[in-house]
A and B are shown apart, each in its own frame.
Chain A
Amino acid sequence: MAEDSQLISIDKVRIGMFIRLDLSWFQHSFPMNSFKIVNQKQIDELQALDLKHIRYIPSKSDPVSLKPADAPPASATPAPPKNGTVYSNITEAKKARLEQLEKQREQIKRCEEKFVHAATTVKNIDKNIFSRPEETLAEADKLVSNMAEVFLDDNDTIMHLIQKSMGGEEMYFHTLNVSVLAMMLAHELKCTPEQIKTVGTAALFHDLGKVDVPSKVLLKTDALSKAEQDLFQLHTRYGAKIGVKAGMSQAVLDAIEHHHEYVDGTGYPDGLKGDAIPQLTRIVTIANVYDNLCNHVDPLQSLTPHEALSKMYAHRRAQFDAAALTTMVRCLGVYPPGSLVRLSNEAIGLVMNVNVGKPLRPRVLVYDPEIPKDSAIILDLAEESPDLSVTGSLRPGQLPRAIYDYLSPRKRVTYYYDTKNGSGGNTAAPGKG
């Protein structure tokens, strides 16, 4: 991308400037080639690079003056270390970074494999639940058990954004997404392993009744008429009926029938209030709402994960189990995976995953035109200096074409989780099931 860069001498570099290093990524210690300078340490590091000039990009910078008068002379730090030592330090640092990057990519890849396996299973479940209910329930139980194993470990759980597609098709399974979120919530809410599995199973089957609702209504992107709404709302009752026939547990049946009830009594079909809705059902409900906001029938009406969560927290708080809602915010963070974000160094990126224990410092895939898309940098904000943080979210439509293509956010937001080191859960080999 052509930029309006200006060369300035190194001693004119100021905090607030967006700069670009005309160096290979391995020749400097910074995580990125282009970034906004946010602290003196970065200036010192730049000077240590022993460059004469730096490319400065005014349009991305804070309004700063080049006049020598209005900035203090650079750094009180002692003379920069000699070039050689800096260089070896840089190499070390970059090597470590590369290894870290490689690890992160592996994590993502592993998680994606697990997701593909789970998705295949869910596809079978959806297909066979009516013809072979008993077998299918068992299969669902096995899947949920596998998924729950992640929590058995004391390891941190990582919520990943799944970018993988299959045969050009995005793999999106609403019920699997809701299961993943709901199970995670259940775990964080200190539910028992049994309860977690119940939540998972209920989530997998919560929309079972939609089979009896005309697809014309289900797929309608405009607002539904009153009659259509009534018809649509019946899916909760239909689902419960099918569930009874299939011999599902009472807790699962309740979640199927009441996953549209809100604690303030504004939901359906019974308008239940507060504790009249069982806790497990409330967990499924909140996960379901979140996924529906992120993945609208009409992708154009979908909210970004950050918008969806903000909307639920700011404007629909009364509808949800307060503990479940705050837990969800705490797990996914202010910028959940799938959010397009702007970093404090003016980089733009896509939140790839979040460590459930450190929701404010996610890992972000960042746009850097100098680095090929395939080996794009993933910044782990948990490991970076506190100066580097997310400063805001963006909508896909706000991105320039080049950045959009680079980050390629999906129309559908799909999550799957894994432990940090990949142990536990979903041990079944891919393809089996």
Chain B
Amino acid sequence: MPGSSVESHSAGLLRHIIDTGRDAVMVIDPDSLTITTVDSTTCRLLGYEADELIGQPLAAIECSLQDLFFWEELKTTPQFEGDRIIESEWLTKGGDSIAVEKRASSYREQDKCHWIIHAEDLTRRRHLEEEQVRLTAQLQSSFEATAEGILVVDTEGNIGNFNRRFVEMWKMPDDILASHSQTQLTEFMLASLQNRADYEAKLARITERSDIDTEDVLALSDGRYFVCSSKPQYLRDRLMGRVFSFRDITAMKQAESELMLARDAAEQASRVKSQFLSQMSHELRTPLNAIIGFAQLLEIEASGSTREQLATISRAGKHLLSVINEILDVAKIEAGRIEVERIPFSPIQILREIESLIEVQVQEKSLYFAIHYDFPLPSFINSDPTRFRQILLNLCTNAVKYTDGGSVELHVRCEGEMLKIAVVDTGIGIDAEQQKKLFSAFSQADSSTTRKYGGTGLGLYISYQLAQLLGGNIALESVPGSGSRFEFSLATGPLEGVAMLTTSTALSEAAAPSKISAQTPHLQGHVLLAEDGADNQKLVRAYLERAGVAVTIVENGIQAIEQALPGDFDLVLMDMQMPIMGGLEATSILRQAAYAKPIVALTANVMKEDVEQYLAAGCSDHLSKPIDMDRFFQMLAKYLQPASESDEGDAGQAAVENMDFYQKLAAEFIAGLGDTMQRITDAVQHGDWASAGFVAHTLKGTAGSFGYPHISELADKLNKAIKADQKDAMVGAWTQLKQAVESDLAKR
């Protein structure tokens, strides 16, 4: 009974109730459409005082065109039931218009009809609505603008939303989309996958752990790949569902697999190339082996012009071999497969070897050549002796090659743990432009130099790369027309505890062991040679017979095994590349059969990993082809006994006889030393430097042989100075030699 209770309330209370309501309330007279009552909310909204509004026509505050029609329609039925609602605009005192929703109702009291307006300020609601529409539109356009397919699922598994991209990516049929059933949708997606069980398991995990983020790669049956990432969707802190996003990475995958194929192909090509080079190396070295070997052998026996011709064959062969070696080195460098050793060796010894090698070339061109040692120098360093020799030889050979007059000098010094050797020449020099590309492969200073001087143009490139590998460098200074200075440095390794040489005497001692004469040893024993090449068979047989050793020859690994096991051989020389069964396999089988005699591998494949393979298979040692006679005899001497008395007479006796003879000769030498020195001095004093040089050259050899290395060295120095026609050096060397001889004679 709401009506009866209202009556008991005071007008003031009712007024309060109206004034504190949210709506603006006013009463109007339906006939005149004038305002009869307003509440305080209305006044606040419009900015008027109540008495300013009361009595005014409603049209004074209403300014929407719709109002006109609204009230006219109401006028047709002044007493109406319920509410009439319309949106309108009201004008404030300040002239602004406010959007309102007004609700009109009619009330009749004592024959008087009133219209009551409840109005709500729509400003805020409009703003919220607009904001919502704006946000929805913004969200929707972002949703559609993304390149990813998006699917939103709620916690109950209902599909909340998805974008067009999602439909396109999955080629989702209409009826599944329209069903909005996650079960159907998921089933369709799973059916499109190559491995549905996988993804099913992942979905199961998501169901268990609804708070995790996921990222998976999906492989579709049609060959496409999607990355699917999913994240839980929260409203404030409440879990609402999950957002899946799918990115098509097929193109990326394809590019990736193409890259992998390209890489595999490149690697395969590289392997084939290495194999080819290795094969070529064998094919080239084998015939060279025969050529050089026989030339060397014949050279020993021949005389006169024939000997010269054989020497040429041998030299040409060795040159060809070095070219092949260079090409192989470059191939290994390019493939990043070159490796260097770190073993202790005497750099001085190698320098001495280089000296004796270069000397020949220098004499041919009448150049002055000298090595200057800046003491102290280490007696041993830890590096790769083969590469060290190779670099030095290359630099020195180049210096000689490109110097037509003047000198080639080496300056050796050690700074910290770096050994530095400068090769200084007075040759044609290299201009700045050419210097830049000098250390690149296949580049010589210019093509005209190639024509004039020959060469592959690979030497410096190889040397430079090797120097880097040895922890050093090659630096160049050059003035065209005046000469060049190549400084080669390399890491010595730790020098702690290494004896340091401080004088040239010590130097001679350090170098002494290198003076191994290339004499044929006299040995005994029976060697099995497994070698399929006829030329090599003959050569090795010739070498062996020269050393007095018996030989049996077989042509492949199987024959080698058949002969070796029951036979009584002291040494097996095993070629690695043979038909039917190779040396590697044969060696391996022999060792498995507990064969204990030494087996030396003969091979053209001397890459480090090859050699390691031979040793691993059971080889005791290896000899590289082409066979160097000196090395071959050294190897034989290592594994065979010297010739016994029955073959060569009493060895001890022979040694004693040799010693006697030696001492006799030595005595003769020292007795004649004064005269010899005098002959030099006479020639010098007569300005006959040529004669002085000739005598000095002879003295160099004899002094060396009879234990006077320093006299040998000084004689050599004098000889070189004379050859180089360097007056100061000539006089200096002669003075030094004279003093040394006199000093030695005085000691006696």
Binding site for B on A (CB under 8 A): 4, 6-9, 12, 52-53, 58-59, 63, 66-67, 306, 309-310, 313-315, 317, 326, 329-330, 334, 359-360
When chains A and B are docked, how far (Å) is the Cα of A63 from the Cα of B159? 16
User: Can you list, as one digit per residue, whether each of B177-219 has a CB less than 8 Å from chain A (1) or not (0)?
Assistant: 1111000000000000000000000000000000000000000
| CA gap between A326 and B158 in the complex, in Å | 55
Docked pose: A334 CA to B72 CA in angstroms: 14
Cross-chain contact B177 with A334 (CB below 8 angstroms): no
**Which B residues touch A315, using CB under 8 A?**
63, 95
B177 and A7 within 8 A (CB):
yes
Q: How far is the CB of B180 from chain A (nearest CB, A)?
A: 6
Contact A326 B175 (CB under 8 A): no
Given contacts A53-B175, A59-B140, 4 further A-B contacts (CB under 8 A): A7-B174, A313-B68, A317-B63, A334-B69
With contacts A314-B89, A334-B65 taken as known, whether A8 is within 8 angstroms of B178 at the C-beta atoms is: yes
Task: Quote the shortest CB–CB distance from B719 to chain A (angstroms).
Answer: 98
B514 within 8 A of A: no
A329–B178 Cα gap in the complex (Å)? 47
- A53 x B178 contact (CB < 8 A): yes
CB-CB under 8 A from A4, the residues of chain B are: 140, 143-144, 163-164
A399→B530 CA distance, assembly (Å) = 97
Binary flags per residue of B130-165, CB closer than 8 Å to A gives 1, else 0:
001000110011011000000000100011111110
**CA A5 to CA B519, docked complex, whole Å:** 100
Enumerate chain A residues within 8 angstroms of B97, measured Cβ to Cβ.
314
B91 at the interface (CB under 8 A from A): yes
| Cα(A7)–Cα(B172), bound, Å | 11
B66 at the binding interface (Cβ < 8 Å): yes
Q: How far is the CA of A329 from the CA of B132 in the complex (A)?
A: 33
Interface residue? B64 (CB, 8 A) = yes
A6 touches B140 (CB 8 A): no
Q: Which residues of A contact B68 (CB under 8 A)?
A: 313, 326, 329-330
Which residues of the other chain, B, contact A330 by a CB distance below 8 angstroms? 68-69
Number of chain B interface residues as a range: 20 to 34
Interface centre among A53, A66, A314, A359 (most CB of B within 10 A): A314
Who on chain B is nearest to A5 by CB?
Answer: B164
Q: What distance in Å separates the Cβ of B90 from its nearest Cβ neighbour in chain A? A: 10
Q: CA A81 – CA B137 in complex, angstroms?
A: 37
Contacts of B178 in A (CB 8 A): 7-9, 52-53
Bound: A179/B91 CA distance, A: 32
B162 (CB) vs chain A CBs: closest residue = A6
A-B CB pair tally, cutoff 8 Å:
63
Whole-angstrom distance from the CB of B374 to the nearest CB of chain A? 85
Contacts A4-B140, A58-B140 given; indicate if A9 touches B180 (C-beta within 8 A). Answer: yes
Q: Hey, which bits of chain B sit against chain A, CB under 8 A? A: 59, 63-66, 68-69, 89, 91, 95, 97, 132, 136-137, 140-141, 143-144, 154, 158-164, 174-175, 177-180
Known A-B contacts A329-B65, A329-B68, A334-B65; A66 and B180 likewise in contact (beta carbons under 8 Å): yes
Residue in A closest to B63 when the chains form the complex, CB atoms: A314
For chain B, what secondary structure do more than half of its interface residues adopt (helix, strand, loop), or is it mixed? helix
C-alpha gap A315/B137 in the complex (Å): 34
B154 → A minimal CB distance (Å): 8
For A12, the chain B residues whose CB sits under 8 A away are 180
Chain A residues contacting B162 (CB-CB under 8 Å) are: 6
Chain A residues with Cβ under 8 A from B65's Cβ? Answer: 306, 309-310, 313, 329, 334
Q: How far is the CB of A71 from chain B (nearest CB, A)?
A: 13
Smallest CB separation, A212 vs chain B (Å): 37
On whether the beta carbons of A334 and B66 are closer than 8 Å, the reply is yes
Selected contact of B137 from candidates A7, A59, A66, CB within 8 Å? A59
Q: Tell me, in angstroms, the Cα distance from A330 to B91 when the chains sit together.
A: 21
Chain B residues positioned under 8 Å from A306 (CB to CB): 65
- Alpha-carbon distance A156/B92, docked complex (angstroms): 38
- Closest Cβ of chain A to B137, distance in Å, is 6
Contacts of A8 in B (CB 8 A): 178, 180
| Complex contacts, B137 vs chain A, CB 8 Å | 59
Complex Cα spacing A108 to B602, Å: 110
B175: which A residues are within 8 A, CB to CB? 52-53
CA of A310 to CA of B137, assembled, Å: 29
- Nearest Cβ on chain A to B122's Cβ, whole angstroms: 13
Provide 6 A-B residue pairs closer than 8 Å at the C-beta atoms, listed in order of the A residue.
A6-B177, A8-B178, A8-B180, A59-B140, A59-B141, A314-B89
B-side contacts of A317, CB under 8 Å: 59, 63
Q: Which residues of B contact A63 (CB under 8 A)?
A: 132, 136
Residues of A within 8 A of B177 (CB): 6-7
Distance, CA A314 to CA B89, complexed state (A): 9
In the complex with contacts A8-B180, A66-B180, A313-B63 CB distance below 8 A: yes
Whether A314 contacts B66 in the complex (CB less than 8 A), given A52-B175, A59-B140, A66-B180, comes out as no
- By beta carbon, the residue of chain A nearest B97 is A314
Chain A: minimal CB distance from B380 (Å)? 82
Known interface pairs A313-B63, A334-B65, A334-B69; A9-B140 also in contact (CB < 8 Å): no
Residues of chain B within 8 A (CB-CB) of A360 are: 69
Q: Are A314 and B91 in contact (CB under 8 A)?
A: yes
Q: In the complex, which residues of chain B have a beta carbon less than 8 angstroms from the beta carbon of A52?
A: 175, 178
7 A-B pairs with least C-beta separation: A314-B63, A53-B178, A334-B65, A9-B178, A7-B178, A59-B140, A4-B144
With both beta carbons as reference points, the residue of chain B lying nearest to A314 in the complex is identified as B63
- Residues of chain A contacted by B63 (CB below 8 angstroms): 310, 313-315, 317
Chain B min CB distance to A183 (Å): 22
CA distance A7 to B176 in the complex (A): 9
> In the complex, A67 Cα to B132 Cα: how many Å?
20
Closest Cβ of chain B: how far from A275's Cβ, in Å?
19
Nearest residue (CB) in B for A360 is B69
